[in-house]
Amino acid sequence: MIHQIILARPKPGMSEEEFQRYWVEEHAVRYAVRIPQIKRYCVSTRVPRPGDEPDPLWSGVAEIWLENEEEQLASLQSPEFLEGARRDEPRWAAFWRTVVLDTDAHPMLSAAGADTPATKLLILAKRREGLTLERFRERLLGRHARLAEKIPGLRAYAQNHTRDAFYGVGEAVLDGACQLWFDDADAFEAARDTPEFRGMLDDLGRFTEPRYLHTLLLEEHWITGREAAR
């Protein structure tokens, strides 16, 4: 199954709060979820934290699950996408700044769908120059995953590796996205101060490019399919 991650930000002149409300309450339910090939759909909105940049790269993340490449192509050719979701995008999103990743999901520490907390940290990474994609994935799934799973308060953990097709004519913008779930924002802040969390980040810094390492604290809003997640 394809796990698509879409990173977006507000169009000029729209506040982050307006952007997030429109995505969750209008675009997702009126347009995106009606695309018949989409199996699961979740919108996660950025949770502001002290010290954040005043103009973040992204204010929200959509996750879409599609059965395979044929279903993905059919979704992009569907009237629900072409005449609905695509046409609606300029009303709320700076679509020229949108980043889309097709990934293969690797659940590492799972929780039952309805029992998984809505608060999660998304870590986006690009491998360090000179490191092969194969070695990057091995490191992420091996030593790094073992470090992440030791973080106190971690409720669920998954890795998402950019699919090989994104490297067919060059380099993908990002090589992977890790997701770490916590009970709430306070639980994340408590975990963030632990040696285990710092050790996980230190390890990630050893095999990724620091300038392409991004973190977002998010709140999930499931539109459809939560019962099948993780």
Domains identified in the chain, total number: 1
Q: Each residue of 125-149: pLDDT tens digit?
A: 999 999 999 999 999 999 999 999 9
What are the residues whose beta carbons fall under 8 Å from the beta carbon of 52, sequence distance 6 or more?
Answer: none
Give the pLDDT confidence score for residue 230 in this predicted structure: 53
Q: Which two tokens stand for residue 205?
A: 């810094």
Domain that holds residue 109: 2-228
Give the pLDDT confidence score for residue 211 in this predicted structure: 93
CATH of the domain at 207: 3.30.70.100
Helix (H) or strand (E) holding 217: strand 214-224
Report helix, strand and coil shares of the chain as percent, to nearest 5.
40, 30, 30
User: Which pTM was predicted?
Assistant: 0.94
Q: Which residues of the chain have pLDDT under 70?
A: 111-114, 228-230
Phi, psi of 94 (to 5 degrees): -80, 80
